[in-house]
């Protein structure tokens, strides 16, 4: 239950005080009181061991109710959890807790993606083709304004998870384009999700898109743009013409923390093929591709990296199984996910070599 995740990210459902309370287990109360007395070097009695959870109404231990600085801080800031606090990555109160318990950050990250959490996990897992594209899209669009009367191109939609999200969460008209997944298969998924009246499945090549100029209010692409856009011409020649004036561009895809293909760490060589390294680049490598094309350009390393990859790796997809060693060996050192948003601007002294 999501309500059992504490403000700090610990799982109250696994706490002995909570288990003793809901099961009225006196023996566990006594055992917990004895342990906590030793750990805290303060007298704690069995009758103190009563708690129904940090974020739910009901009885709490004295510490959780009044003494926990993290809980009091979260209450004062009126955040659902510390994961919603902009100071999370620099917070000394919770830093030590995160360092000693990796599950804390995972819990906080998942709690911060409230829209993603609404979707059936089996449906998502069955249709993932890489790191959780729905979670990536939720973060990508946090500061993007999409409205129901908009036409949105979902470029490289794969199995259509991102198209379903766009239709359900924003009510926009989605054109779901993919070369490798048939329009018929995607249409069946859109019917299953109940969005067939909002999403148009299209089987087409991103290099030869069948759309009128200035047709779309937004072009969105998750885990696909880097396959075709890793050059100086694709955005200018293929994306820019189909966007309306001031149209929105929003892209998210795998990348690198810094350029690495000419100095590949030895432990990563078994996992990174030359073809992948032609597409996985740093934010600074990508920046010139967009800074002369887009106004209000925002480029960032996405916070959903670990959770989005974990969701993919938990599936039984053979490609996911093959990726497990790569992510385990990388261990957050080299790879990232990159988010890019902006609005179509006037061309700024552009030069495109032949």
Q: Are strands 335-344 and 294-301 parallel, antiparallel or unpaired?
A: antiparallel
- pLDDT (average), residues 302-327: 94
Q: Determine the pLDDT at residue 354.
A: 40
- Taking the C-alpha atoms of residue 293 and residue 7, their distance in angstroms, rounded to an integer, is 41
| Tens of pLDDT, residues 139-170 | 999 999 999 999 999 999 999 999 999 999 99
Q: How confident is the model at residue 345 (pLDDT cuts 50, 70, 90)?
A: confident
Alpha-carbon distance 288 to 236, whole Å?
12
Residue 156 near residue 177 (C-beta atoms within 8 A): yes
Residue 93 has pLDDT above 60, yes or no: yes
- The DSSP bridge partners found for residue 152 are 174, 218
Please give, one letter per residue, the 3-state secondary structure of 163-220.
HHHHHHHHCCEEEEEECCCCHHHHHHHHHHHCCCCCEEEEECCCCCCCCCCCCEEEEE
Contact indicator for 260, 230 with CB cutoff of 8 Å: no
Task: Cite the beta strand spans of the chain per DSSP E.
Answer: 151-155, 173-178, 199-203, 216-222, 243-256, 294-301, 335-344
The predicted-structure confidence for 38-72, as pLDDT tens digits, reads as follows 888 888 999 999 999 999 889 998 889 888 889 99
Angle formed at CA 244 by CA 239 and CA 249, multiple of 5 degrees: 50
Q: What pLDDT sits at residue 229? A: 96
Please state, in angstroms and rounded to a whole number, the distance separating the CA atoms of residues 29 and 132: 40
Q: Say what percent of the chain tops pLDDT 90.
A: 71
Q: How far is CA 62 from CA 77, 147, 228, 308, in A?
A: 21, 47, 57, 36
Which domains, and CATH codes, for the chain? 2-112 (no CATH), 120-344 (3.40.50.150)
Say yes or no to pLDDT of 86 above 80.
no
Cβ–Cβ under 8 Å, residues 305 and 337: yes
The answer to whether 218 and 248 have CB atoms below 8 angstroms apart is yes
> Are the C-beta atoms of 54 and 7 separated by less than 8 Å?
yes
Check whether 123 has a pLDDT greater than 50: yes
Dist CA 326 CA 269 (whole Å): 10
Secondary structure (DSSP) of 295-334: EEEEEEE-TTHHHHHHHHHTS--HHHHHHHHHHHHHTTSS
What count of other Cβ atoms lies within 10 Å of the Cβ of residue 339?
A: 26
Q: CA–CA distance from 152 to each of 10, 131, 286 (Å)?
A: 39, 22, 23
């Amino acid at each position: 239950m999501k309500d059992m995740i504490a403000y700090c990210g610990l799982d109250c459902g696994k706490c002995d005080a909570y288990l003793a309370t809901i099961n009225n287990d006196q023996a566990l109360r006594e055992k917990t009181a004895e342990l906590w007395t030793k750990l805290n070097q303060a007298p704690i009695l069995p009758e103190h061991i009563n708690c129904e959870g940090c974020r739910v109404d009901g009885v709490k231990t004295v510490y959780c109710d009044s003494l926990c600085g993290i809980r009091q801080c979260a209450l004062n800031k009126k955040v659902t959890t510390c994961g919603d606090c902009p100071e999370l990555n620099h917070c000394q109160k919770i830093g030590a807790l995160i360092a000693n318990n990796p599950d804390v950050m995972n819990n906080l990250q998942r709690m911060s993606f409230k829209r993603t959490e609404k979707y059936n996990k089996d449906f998502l897992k069955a249709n993932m083709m890489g790191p959780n594209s729905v979670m990536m899209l939720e973060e990508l669009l946090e500061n993007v304004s999409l409205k129901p009367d908009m036409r949105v191109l979902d470029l490289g939609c794969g199995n259509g998870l991102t198209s379903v999200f766009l239709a359900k969460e924003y009510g926009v008209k989605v054109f779901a384009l993919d070369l490798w997944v048939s329009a018929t298969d995607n249409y069946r998924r859109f019917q299953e999700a109940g969005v067939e009246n909002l999403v148009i499945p299209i089987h087409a090549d991103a290099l030869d898109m069948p759309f009128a100029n200035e047709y779309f209010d937004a072009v969105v692409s998750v885990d696909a743009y880097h396959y075709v856009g890793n050059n100086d011409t694709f955005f200018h020649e293929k994306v820019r013409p189909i966007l309306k004036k001031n149209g929105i561009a929003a892209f998210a895809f795998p990348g690198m923390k810094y350029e690495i293909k000419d100095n590949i760490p030895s432990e990563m060589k078994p996992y990174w093929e030359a073809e992948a390294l032609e597409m996985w680049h740093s934010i600074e490598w990508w920046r010139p591709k967009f800074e002369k094309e887009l106004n209000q350009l925002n480029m960032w390393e996405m916070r959903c990296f670990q959770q989005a990859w974990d969701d993919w790796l938990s599936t039984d997809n053979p490609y996911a199984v093959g990726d497990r060693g790569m992510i385990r060996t990388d261990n957050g050192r080299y790879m990232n996910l990159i988010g890019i948003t902006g609005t179509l601007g006037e061309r700024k002294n552009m030069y495109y070599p032949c």
